[in-house]
């Protein structure tokens, strides 16, 4: 398997797949490509001024390419999302020059040329990151901005939409600028269409409200606009994804070729009867008629009709096209059904759940000392975090494990922890701990040996993203018998998945979901306590030698939506009760 390494560009503060910061603040999921980057904003801590304590420098491993290339890396990843075409072109050219020099036997010259090209690219301050030897506290920037670009200056006055920046220089019409708002550190981009030099500074027309104290940055040159226009034109000319049909009418035959992604199917029909028109003709709007008549579940990308020397009644052609489209749609349904069959060994069908069993089960995340305060009923299943201290001595949870409790392996699984976990998990299973919740793909390997696999029951955590049947089937093949569903899943998504799970799905109902889990440490010496955004949003930070965690000030709670989740086919729930006292535990479980 080829290995790709990330070498250049913006870095997330959090581990990949472990960030809910953007979702929490605005419903835009970083894990699904729509992050609004709240980590780039300013946060106050103690008496200090607000700073970009979570905003990371851009990674740059160009100086380390001579060490990386001999390792046999298959691909180098350069992050260019939300960057201009000029940026991408410059960075790619820099790495190309460095690689060419290395392969020609002149690594120093190649790296020097690449470094020269990079110096001309507008970007954030760079860091070699932890792969290049940076400490966890050296990656985040701190300071007054986490934004990309060359700082132009601070706005001192605004008149009729014109912002004045004293001492500003180096701006040209068409340059791409970005305003960083003083109030919350958020930013917004625009093009510098109207510029005026005035009294030791520059006035620029801003198409949205700005205030004195807001900062302006130059993030791209005017040439970017033309490159972007060409790219957009090419993108718009690309046909949309969806089902495509080629309807070919030949003497006595109608052939319908259907394709969707990598799937392709050909349907051939014999026809007879009077022709519907002269040979080789088709109604002028025939393709449009077929597209409008299409009623398949798959999105339609296009219909093309070809007459290959034979007449045919147009009504017959239309009927056969619709027949082929329905059949192709059914093929996809059956493919999905075959996928669902893969998880039948763990799939509950309606009515198979024992009537004498509990109607709703709450999986209660807790610490060992909280176990005595949980109700001793089948409806409440204890889930204890498999910490290093518990791994060394699991006796505090032993009685509850034998009565149906679970141990949870927390994310992420680091390679440095692998040997320790293999040893302690195997030892815990031998002591009777056979029920586990796994939150990292690497955790499944801990149970891979056949003797262990036969003994254990595994539930995948919400970090495993059981968003769809494909993911659920994959988790099932890896050994999961139930799935805690993603906290970011919408009700329609839960409804789509829930109808196939029949009791296998577990919804996250309560708990302080970590917004970011990181190997990094915040900038400016923040090592714990509360931080606050200019919008009065408060978060708790914990930090130790393993990294840092950012938590919301208030726990997530779905108590007002439990009836909706049940209607979606979800009957069981997970509640993280760690940190609660006995009275609060009772209150949450009652809700």
Q: What does the domain layout of the chain look like in residue ranges?
A: 4-132, 150-237, 243-341, 347-513+555-590
Q: What is the DSSP pairing of strand 157-159 with strand 162-166?
A: antiparallel
Sheet with 195-198: list strands edge to edge. Answer: 157-159, 162-166, 201-205, 195-198
Q: Which of 58, 61, 88 is nearest to 73 (CA)?
A: 61
Q: Which residues of the chain have pLDDT under 70?
A: 82, 144-148, 169, 221-240, 273-281, 310-312, 333-359, 402, 498-503
User: What pLDDT does residue 344 have?
Assistant: 40
CATH of domain 150-237: 2.40.10
Any residues with CB less than 8 A from the CB of 241 and at least 6 apart, and which?
261, 299, 301
Res 310: pLDDT: 62
Integer angstrom CA distances of residue 456 from 110, 131, 435, 461? 54, 36, 6, 16
Q: What is the pLDDT of residue 343?
A: 42
Of 510, 507, 508, 482, the closest CA to residue 568 belongs to 507
Give pLDDT tens digits for 110-131: 999 999 999 888 778 899 999 9
pLDDT at residue 244, rounded to an integer:
92
Structure tokens at 448: 């891979």
pTM of the prediction? 0.70
Q: Do domains 150-237 and 347-513+555-590 have the same CATH topology?
A: no
The DSSP symbol for 402 reads: H
Q: Return all residues near 570 (Cβ < 8 A) that are at least 6 apart.
A: 485, 494, 498, 501, 505, 506, 507
Q: Give the domain 347-513+555-590 fold.
A: TIM Barrel (3.20.20)
């Amino acid at each position: 398997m080829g290995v790709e390494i990330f070498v250049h560009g913006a870095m997330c503060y959090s581990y990949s797949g472990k960030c809910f910061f953007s979702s929490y603040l605005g419903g835009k999921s970083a894990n699904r490509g729509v992050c609004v980057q709240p980590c780039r904003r300013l946060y106050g801590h103690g008496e200090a001024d607000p700073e970009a304590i979570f905003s990371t420098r851009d990674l740059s491993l160009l100086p380390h390419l001579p060490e990386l290339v001999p390792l046999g890396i298959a691909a180098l990843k350069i992050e260019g999302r939300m960057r201009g075409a000029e940026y991408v072109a410059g960075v790619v050219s820099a790495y190309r020059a460095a690689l060419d020099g290395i392969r020609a036997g002149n690594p120093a010259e190649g790296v020097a040329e690449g470094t020269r090209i990079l110096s001309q690219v507008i970007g954030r301050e760079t860091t070699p990151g932890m792969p290049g030897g940076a400490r966890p506290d050296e990656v985040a920037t701190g300071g007054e901005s986490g934004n990309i670009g060359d700082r132009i200056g601070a706005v001192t006055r605004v008149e009729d939409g014109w912002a004045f920046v004293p001492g500003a220089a180096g701006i040209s019409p068409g340059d791409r600028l970005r305003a960083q708002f003083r109030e919350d550190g958020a930013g917004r981009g625009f093009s510098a269409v109207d510029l005026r030099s005035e009294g030791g500074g520059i006035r620029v027309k801003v198409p949205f409200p700005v205030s004195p104290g807001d900062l302006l940055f130059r993030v791209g040159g005017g040439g970017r606009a033309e490159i972007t226009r060409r790219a957009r034109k090419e993108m718009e000319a690309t046909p949309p994804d969806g089902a495509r049909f080629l309807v070919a009418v030949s003497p006595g035959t109608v052939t319908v070729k259907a394709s969707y992604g990598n799937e392709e199917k050909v349907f051939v029909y014999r026809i007879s009867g009077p022709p519907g028109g002269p040979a080789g003709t088709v109604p002028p709007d025939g393709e449009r008629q077929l597209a409008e008549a299409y009623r398949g579940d798959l999105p339609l990308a296009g219909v093309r009709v070809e007459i290959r020397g034979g007449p045919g009644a147009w009504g017959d052609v239309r009927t056969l096209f619709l027949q082929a489209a329905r059949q192709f749609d059914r093929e996809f349904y059956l493919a999905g059904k075959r996928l669902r069959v893969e998880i039948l060994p763990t799939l509950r069908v309606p009515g198979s759940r024992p009537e004498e069993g509990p109607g709703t089960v709450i999986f209660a995340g807790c610490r060992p000392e909280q176990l005595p305060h949980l109700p001793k009923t089948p409806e409440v299943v204890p889930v204890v975090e498999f910490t290093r201290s518990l791994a060394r001595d699991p006796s505090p949870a032993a009685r509850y494990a034998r009565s149906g409790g679970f141990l949870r392996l927390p994310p992420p699984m680091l390679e440095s922890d692998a040997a320790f976990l293999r040893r302690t998990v195997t030892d815990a299973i031998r002591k009777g701990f056979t029920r586990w919740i796994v939150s990292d793909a690497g955790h499944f390997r801990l149970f891979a040996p056949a003797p262990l696999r036969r003994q254990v029951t595994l539930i995948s955590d919400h970090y495993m993203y059981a968003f769809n049947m494909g993911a659920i089937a994959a988790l099932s093949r890896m050994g999961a018998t139930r799935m805690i569903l993603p906290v970011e899943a919408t009700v329609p998504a839960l409804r789509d998945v829930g109808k196939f799970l029949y009791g296998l799905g577990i919804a996250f109902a309560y708990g302080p979901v970590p917004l970011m889990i990181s190997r990094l440490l915040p900038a400016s010496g923040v090592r714990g306590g509360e931080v606050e955004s200019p919008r009065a949003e408060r978060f708790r930070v914990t930090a130790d030698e393993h990294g840092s965690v950012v938590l919301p000030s208030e726990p997530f709670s779905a108590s007002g939506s439990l009836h909706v989740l049940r209607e979606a086919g979800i009957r069981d729930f997970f509640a993280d009760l760690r940190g609660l006292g006995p009275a609060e535990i009772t209150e949450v479980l009652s809700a």
